[in-house]
Amino acid sequence: MDDQNTSRSHALGTKVHRTALRAYARSIDGERTAGAGQSLLSIRDLDVRFRLRGQTLHALRGISLDIYPNETLAIVGESGAGKSVLMKNLIGLLDKNGWVNGGSIIFDGIDLAKLKRERDWSGIRGKRIAMVMQDPMTSLNPLKTVGWQIREALRYNQNMHGKEADNRALELLRDVGISEPERRYRQYPHEFSGGMRQRVVIAIALACGPRVLICDEPTTALDVTIQAQILQLINSLKDKYALTLIYITHDLGVVANVADRIAVMYAGDVVELGSCDEVFFDPRHPYTWALLSSLPQLGTRKQDLYTIEGTPPNLFHPIRGDAFAPRNPHPLEIDFLHRPPYFSVSPTHKARTWLLDPRAPQVEPPEAIRNIRELTRMG
Amino acid sequence: MLVYIGKRLLRSLISLFIIIVVVFCLLRMMPIEGYFPSFDKMTPLQVENGLRKMGLLDPVPVQLFNFFKQLLRGDLGTSMRYRQNYSITKIIANKAPFSIRFGMIAVGISIPLGLGLGVLMARKKGGLWDKFGTVYIVIMQAVPAALYYLFLQLYGTQALNISLLYNPDKLETMILPLISLALPSVAYYAMWMRRYAVDESNKDYIKLARAKGVPGAVIWFRHVFRNAVVPIVQLIPNSLLLTLAGSIYVESLYSIPGMGGLMVDVIKRQDNTMVQALVIVFAVLTIVGLLLGDIFMALVDPRISLTRKAEAR
């Protein structure tokens, strides 16, 4: 195990947070087993729907997920899988036409799913759960100085004003690696590059003093060279500010670099959940297989990249059985009839697929991903 | 900032110069009747003498130079047919105060009301205010002003029990003309404000502001309103300055002795010098208005003064 870890971290340039791994290892599969009390955020059977043009869209179909203090959880999945909807629920920014149909999100003894009024969210949104958004080019108010925007966060969350707020804002700018903070403080967003703006957005999120930081595709809008810097920055801030990180991404490269645990989402459901190693090197759900197979790094020269046939299911209609079955190259009969429950692979690893049922036939993961480890080792 | 204003000023002066030259030259091509109050009764010799006296037989560049000299003295010339041998500056000075008083008050009422209504509509998009406001805006845009102006005058004066026409000694007779002027302009501001506010409220930085825990009312005022008002700010100086032109319809309905319709009158009477003077006055006002609008915009939008080529918005 240790050997695998070092080889992976060597190959992908990552650093796994073993302490965090150990922390949740004792309590994973938190379905009211041993360490359920330890989780910081506990999502149970969350069911979210939207009303769109007279139809009902079933965006989250009963999600259960525990998030543990100081871990980094990555939520992966293709567009429309419900990653962002899930996160919006955590900070009460669900679009107006959406509602929570059932389930709970327990955080600090409060059920966030039950909060209806804006005023109930004050003291939680920002202050305890903050968010970094996808596009730094549009996330900042173009007419206000960067300093002003950081101070606004300090004012509403830390009750900091005047000189104190100025100093704290400068300190934050320094922390996110912006040089000459005194000068930059008075500048407007258009005087910053994309990467620098994302640093400012991170500084604003930190100014709120949150325990949980949600990063919604924080690097998709950035140059590849900047991406690594931003990820590194978030990672280093994680320790300094004792953050629990939730990444939303469809970039498995990002995931491999930062995540302690991975939740794979498909069609409004978490289909596989495990530690980074488990999901990468021992995936169990056919969708995870497909997702990993489409990693460009696995492709061989002059061969088309792997793509998943078909399209995600239409969430306007009820889904029967395993949502992925129609796109699964080797579906089982039962996949079309009954929704699979979670099967535990290890204390930290579970997947929602009938393949894990003892009666299921032995289906091997595709050739291409069986040697991810070898591939990554070769670099 | 100063460099920006200086550049804009220089450009405005150039446009103004061009406008004056073009207007002046065009009017020199007009029939010469326009220089005499009773052309029909004059002999050709009298006409020639008259033209010579006014310097109209000089070569055009000389005339133009003299005209600029005259303009720099603040003299717009004398009216020939509208009011014989009467200083145009004086005619305007007599009429303009009425138009400006009504216009300024009306704009002063419409801006806060219009912007307020627009924000209210945007904030509760699809709600009662939005529906009510949309109906109001559509009516203002679609129904000819003549219709509701007349209604307002007939029923309004009756309901308030005041005289039908404007009386400078009675303040209450100002109410109905002011409402008439403000009604369409409130709708205009509300329409644009709603549109810009809806645009702004859907932007990412509003989401970030919410995510960082800023209360909703504060977001609407400090972020949405503040940013949505920028493009509208540009329009305000012009709408204030052009109140000088007055409103033909409202002024004639209530017989307010303002500037409304003056332009049409002098064109009808072929008063060459006066057409020339009025066109130049309105051109100056428009250009100054645009210049002020741009400067205001630069003051409220930091991206403009600091980037040479304005970023596309």
A145-158 pLDDT, tens digit per residue, is 999 999 999 998 88
- Phi first, then psi, for residue A246 (nearest 5°) are -125, 115
Contact A345, A356 (CB under 8 A): yes
B71 interfacial to chain A (CB closer than 8 Å): no
Cβ pair A152:B214 closer than 8 A: yes
Q: Which two tokens stand for residue A145?
A: 């100085």
pLDDT surpasses 60 at A11: no
Contact B12, B313 (CB under 8 A): no
Q: Give the pLDDT confidence score for residue B269 in this predicted structure.
A: 84
Helix-helix angle B145-160:B175-201, to 10 degrees: 130
Give CA angle at A61 (B203, A92), nearest 5°: 35
Cβ pair B210:A125 closer than 8 A: yes
H/E/C letters for each residue in chain A? Answer: CHHHHHHHHHHHCCCCCHHHHHHHHCCCCCCCCCCHHHCCEEEEEEEEEEEECCEEEEEEEEEEEEECCCCEEEEECCCCCCHHHHHHHHCCCCCCCEEEEEEEEEECCEEHHHCCCHHHHECCECCCEEEECCCCCCCCCCCCCHHHHHHHHHHHHHCCCHHHHHHHHHHHHHHCCCCCHHHHHCCCHHHCCHHHHHHHHHHHHHHCCCCEEEEECCCCCCCHHHHHHHHHHHHHHHHHCCCEEEEEECCHHHHHHHCCEEEEEECCEEEEEEEHHHHHHCCCCHHHHHHHHCCHHHCCCCCCCCCCCCCCCCCCCCCCCCCCHHHCCCCCHHHHCCCCCCEEEECCEEECCHHHCCCCCCCCCCHHHHCHHHHHHHC
Instruction: Tell me the pLDDT tens digit for each residue of A30-57.
Output: 333 334 447 899 999 999 999 988 899 9
Nearest neighbour of B204 by CB, restricted to A121, A125, A138: A138
User: What's the mean pLDDT when you consider all of chain B?
Assistant: 87
Contact A254, A223 (CB under 8 A): no
* pLDDT (average), residues B90-106: 90
Question: How is chain B split into domains, by residue range?
Answer: 2-90+264-289, 97-260
The mean-pLDDT minimum among A168-182, A293-307, A315-329, B91-105 falls in: A293-307
Q: Give the pLDDT confidence score for residue B138 in this predicted structure.
A: 94
Q: Give the pLDDT confidence score for residue A377 in this predicted structure.
A: 52
Q: Can you list the domains of chain A with their CATH numbers?
A: 2-278 (3.40.50.300)
Cβ pair B211:A142 closer than 8 A: no
One-letter amino acid of A82: G
Share of chain A above pLDDT 90, in %: 42
State the nearest Cα–Cα gap between A201 and chain B, in angstroms: 8
Share of chain B above pLDDT 70, in %: 97
* pLDDT (average), residues A97-108: 90
Q: Give the pLDDT confidence score for residue A72 in this predicted structure.
A: 93
Rounded to whole angstroms, what are the CA distances from A204 to A62, A154, A219, A259, A305?
32, 8, 16, 23, 39
Instruction: Tell me the pLDDT tens digit for each residue of B253-288.
Output: 888 888 888 888 888 888 888 888 999 999 999 999
- β-strands A98-107, A110-111 pairing: antiparallel
* pLDDT (average), residues A256-263: 89
Instruction: Strand A55-67: give its sheet, edge to edge.
Output: A55-67, A41-52, A98-107, A110-111
Q: Give the pLDDT confidence score for residue B8 in this predicted structure.
A: 85
Q: Give the pLDDT confidence score for residue A32 in this predicted structure.
A: 36
Q: Give the pLDDT confidence score for residue A378 in this predicted structure.
A: 46
List CB contacts (< 8 A) between A146 and chain B.
none
Cβ pair B212:A207 closer than 8 A: yes
The mean-pLDDT minimum among A52-61, A168-177, B83-92, B104-113 falls in: B83-92
Query: What chain A residue is nearest to B230 in terms of C-alpha separation?
Result: A143
Instruction: Tell me the pLDDT tens digit for each residue of B219-229.
Output: 999 999 999 99
List CB contacts (< 8 A) between A142 and chain B.
205, 227, 301-303
Helices (H), B161-246: 175-201, 204-211, 216-218, 226-228, 230-233, 236-241
Predicted confidence band at A374 (pLDDT cuts at 50, 70, 90)? low
Contact A85, A48 (CB under 8 A): yes
User: What's the mean pLDDT when you consider all of chain A?
Assistant: 83
Report which of residues B3 and A90 the model is more confident about.
Answer: A90
Report which of residues A259 and A299 the model is more confident about.
Answer: A259
Q: pTM higher than 0.90 for the full model?
A: no
Q: Give the pLDDT confidence score for residue A245 in this predicted structure.
A: 94
CATH homologous superfamily for B97-260?
MetI-like (1.10.3720.10)
Q: Give the pLDDT confidence score for residue A33 in this predicted structure.
A: 38
One-letter amino acid of B270: Q
B221 interfacial to chain A (CB closer than 8 Å): no
A contact test, residue of B212, B214, B308 with most A CBs within 10 A? B212
Cβ pair A93:B207 closer than 8 A: yes
List, as ranges, residues 12-31 from B with C-beta within 8 Å of A: none
Predicted confidence band at B305 (pLDDT cuts at 50, 70, 90)? low
Q: Give the pLDDT confidence score for residue B298 in this predicted structure.
A: 83
CA distance A271 to B257: 79
One-letter amino acid of A172: L
Largest CA distance in chain A: 68
Instruction: Tell me the pLDDT tens digit for each residue of B36-74.
Output: 877 778 888 888 888 888 888 888 888 888 888 888 888
Query: What chain A residue is nearest to B300 in terms of C-alpha separation?
Result: A143
In chain A, which residues touch B (CB < 8 A)? 91, 93, 118, 121-123, 125-127, 130-131, 133, 135, 138-143, 145, 152-153, 156-157, 188, 190-191, 201, 204-205, 207-208
Q: Give the pLDDT confidence score for residue A19 in this predicted structure.
A: 44
Q: Give the pLDDT confidence score for residue A153 in this predicted structure.
A: 92
Contact B194, B122 (CB under 8 A): yes
Instruction: Tell me the pLDDT tens digit for each residue of B172-211.
Output: 888 899 999 999 999 999 999 999 999 999 999 998 998 8
Q: Which residues share a beta bridge with A57?
A: A50
Element spanning B79, H or E: strand B78-79
Q: Classify each residue of B248-282 as buried b or exposed e, where b means 16 or more C-beta atoms within 10 Å of its C-beta.
A: bbbbebbebebbbbbbeebeebbbbbbbbbbbbbb
Nearest neighbour of A157 by CB, restricted to B210, B213, B227: B213
Cβ pair B227:A135 closer than 8 A: no
Contact A262, A320 (CB under 8 A): no
Q: Which two tokens stand for residue B277?
A: 């003077």
| CA proximity to A71, closest of A267, A213, A277 | A213
Element spanning B87, H or E: strand B86-87
Q: Give the pLDDT confidence score for residue B43 in this predicted structure.
A: 84
Predicted confidence band at A260 (pLDDT cuts at 50, 70, 90)? very high
Element spanning B86, H or E: strand B86-87
Cβ pair A139:B205 closer than 8 A: yes
Instruction: Tell me the pLDDT tens digit for each residue of A237-251.
Output: 999 999 999 999 888
Instruction: Tell me the pLDDT tens digit for each residue of B231-250.
Output: 898 888 888 888 888 888 88
* pLDDT (average), residues A186-209: 92
List CB contacts (< 8 A) between A131 and chain B.
208, 211
* pLDDT (average), residues A116-136: 86
Report which of residues B17 and A299 the model is more confident about.
Answer: B17
Cβ pair B208:A133 closer than 8 A: yes
Q: Which residues share a beta bridge with A213?
A: A130, A245
pLDDT surpasses 80 at A25: no
| Rg value, chain A, Cα | 21
Q: Give the pLDDT confidence score for residue A271 in this predicted structure.
A: 93
